[in-house]
Amino acid sequence: MALPSEPLWSETPLIRSGKLSKSLDASVYLKLETFQPTQSFKYRGISLFVQRAREAHGPNIHLVIASSGNAGLATAYIAKVLQLKCSVYLPEGATPSTIEVLREMDAEVVVGGRVYVEALQAVKAAAEQDPNMVMVPSYDHEIIWEGHSSLVREISTQLPTKPDAIFCSVGGGGLIGGIITGCKQVGWDDVPIIALETIGSNCFFHSIALNGSGYNSSITKILPPNVEAVYDAENDVTLAHFNKFTSKASGSLGASEPSVKVLKMALERAGGVRCASVPDEMSMQALTSFADDHKVLIELAGSTTLTPACNKSLFDKLVPNKTTEKRTVVFVLCGGFKISLDEALEFRKMAEEDVAKGGSWGVLLDDGTTLSVEKHA
């Protein structure tokens, strides 16, 4: 078949949220990546990577990827569109629904280890035995970031003014790598990017803290249990490597460590990258509030991005109002197919039970402090 000459991803809506704009006293815009063909921003970068691989190696390539879900689905979908063979290696514990949707795309599904890293090792071993195999990266590749950067170019034409900040969630760093790249392309290198993660799945937060002027960059580095500091001599940065995850969002945000190149890009970026880590229950509450108010269901990875939008004290801390003009901000909702109505209702119950206990949530900030955010219904 002839290769498509145009990108295969969809331009997604950028909508102004009246409710969030009123509650935050700001102009709040939402970039809805859940409207990609596979419900996730990952389709942008992965479809571009696969298109380029087919151009370079021909139609007989065999795509292979290690994934916990969303990247695998994007690969399987584009393989079906371009009529390519595809294998997706999943770690143990992948849900039956994930396996089912991949097989619906005619992908071969292989359980390749207990965790993502072991699935990736299995992919590498398979690729060494088959010259037609092309490894598709989930997040750590320049072409992936190039594809993801298209969402910023879209925002620049959809938004009436330069934003005061762009919010996103972070796992391995593919999305934020694309946002950094896109901001450079449209002249927004000075726009702050605010990266959100859940506590217990926040390798990017801890990696930023370990470097430069980060609060944990001293010789004596203090990290949570099951997290170790790994020095990358080639790039002269230290990574926080997670050996175990405790967050329920780890299915999407649970990278053992971030892309070293994306980390370096973030550390060197003119506009900077601010990081915050929130408890799971804040993400759960944001997920159900967003579904109630905007009639869209998103993964915990996406709702983690929205936690400052649902908690004004956190929003004001991350984006101080320095002028009399209203702040203009964009929340990039990364999407994701790993959510169901039953799961959303369970998350609502868990968040409500946590709120009923009273007290406040502790949000970890990148200056080493913890912001106390009052729990609310």
Pairwise CA distance, residues 108 & 118, whole Å: 18
- pLDDT, averaged per 10 consecutive residues of the chain (377 residues), comes to 73 96 97 94 96 93 90 94 93 83 92 80 89 92 96 96 96 95 96 96 94 86 92 94 86 83 95 95 96 93 95 96 88 89 95 96 95 94
- Three-class secondary structure of residue 305 per DSSP: helix
DSSP bridge pairs for 29: 16, 330
Pairwise CA distance, residues 272 & 230, whole Å: 23
Pairing of strands 360-365, 273-278: antiparallel
Pairwise CA distance, residues 101 & 220, whole Å: 46
| Chain centroid, CA 122 distance in Å | 24
For 164, phi and psi rounded to 5 degrees?
-85, -15
pLDDT the model gives residue 1: 52
The structure tokens listed for 114 are 């207990």
- Three-class secondary structure of residue 228 per DSSP: strand
DSSP bridge pairs for 32: 333
pLDDT the model gives residue 346: 95
Q: Which pLDDT tens digit goes with each residue over 193-225? A: 999 999 999 999 999 999 988 888 887 788 999
Cβ-count burial of 230 within 10 angstroms (0-12 exposed, 13-18 middle, 19+ buried)? middle
Give yes or no for a contact between 197 and 209, defined as CB atoms under 8 angstroms apart: no
Residues 58/39/10/30 CA torsion (nearest 10 deg): -140
Q: Which residue has the tokens 């969630």?
A: 169
Q: Tell me the whole-structure pTM to 2 decimals.
A: 0.94
pLDDT the model gives residue 4: 60
pLDDT the model gives residue 218: 83
Pick from 342, 333, 273: nearest CA to 20 = 333
For 271, phi and psi rounded to 5 degrees?
-80, -5
Cβ-count burial of 190 within 10 angstroms (0-12 exposed, 13-18 middle, 19+ buried)? exposed
Alpha helices in the chain (DSSP H): 18-24, 42-57, 70-82, 96-104, 116-129, 142-148, 150-158, 174-185, 203-209, 250-253, 260-268, 280-294, 300-306, 312-318, 341-356
Residues 6+ apart with CB under 8 A from 218: none
